Amino acid sequence: MKRIILYAACFLLAACANGQSGDNDFAALPRPSAGEAAATFGGGCFWSMNEAMSELKGVNKVVSGYAGGNTVRPTYEDVSSRTTGHAECVQIYYDPKVISFATLANAFFFAHNPTELNYQGPDEGTDYRSIAFYRTPEEKEILLSTIKRINAAKSYPEPIVTQVVPFKIFYPAEKYHQGYYRLHGDNPYIASVSEPKVMKFRKAMKTELKPEFQK
């Protein structure tokens, strides 16, 4: 029951925010600029993942969206129906001279619980699955070796169940989802679910955070 209530709060408050914005427009999907690279991960509700990854040094922008499925240009409601195959994801634009893909991968595994199969805390369904995308064979090897290392260290009591798959396409989510964590701190879902995840992330990745988040 608790999970159902929290999910309803997440969905209804998002819809309320959307109503206030007055549109259902999708966010723009930027192209990586010169010297910039992109990485794509999914780990539960993208509100907290967006915030966590944006706090890392070398990360220039994070866009919330959908990936891993087959439906073209899905909406939030489409993805929530669990008929699209997509998961809530974030696409990270970063400077590889400042932060490596390996560091981003490591951070991803501490920005959520990668041992929870097809759910994250109160959020249940394949749209909340843990999934990591690779664009090159080197990125695939980094993801697999990171999983092996974290499992060996027993950082979590259960083994990681994250899907590691080749990147195909990322669709940006609606504008009202972008930066949602910072804009809606009064949302009870943010306070009870998202914020604890971000605090856990800050503790695990403290030395890699931008100065303002190292306090």
Query: Spelled out in words, what is the top-level CATH class assigned to the domain 2-186+196-207?
Result: alpha beta
- Ranges under pLDDT 50 in the chain: 1-22
Q: Which pLDDT belongs to residue 215?
A: 74
Q: Which pLDDT belongs to residue 3?
A: 42
Q: Residue ranges of the alpha helices (H) in the chain?
A: 2-21, 46-54, 76-80, 101-108, 137-153, 180-183, 188-189, 195-204
Give the residues across from 171 on adjacent strands. Answer: 66
Q: Which pLDDT belongs to residue 12?
A: 47
> What pTM, to 2 d.p., does this model score?
0.90
Q: Which residues contact 33 (CB under 8 A, 6 or more apart)?
A: 93
Q: Which pLDDT belongs to residue 24?
A: 73
The single residue listed with the structure tokens 């914005």 is 21
List, by residue number, the catalytic residues: 45
Pair of tokens at residue 177 = 């989802």
Q: Which residues contact 149 (CB under 8 A, 6 or more apart)?
A: none
The single residue listed with the structure tokens 């701190």 is 185
Q: Which pLDDT belongs to residue 214?
A: 86
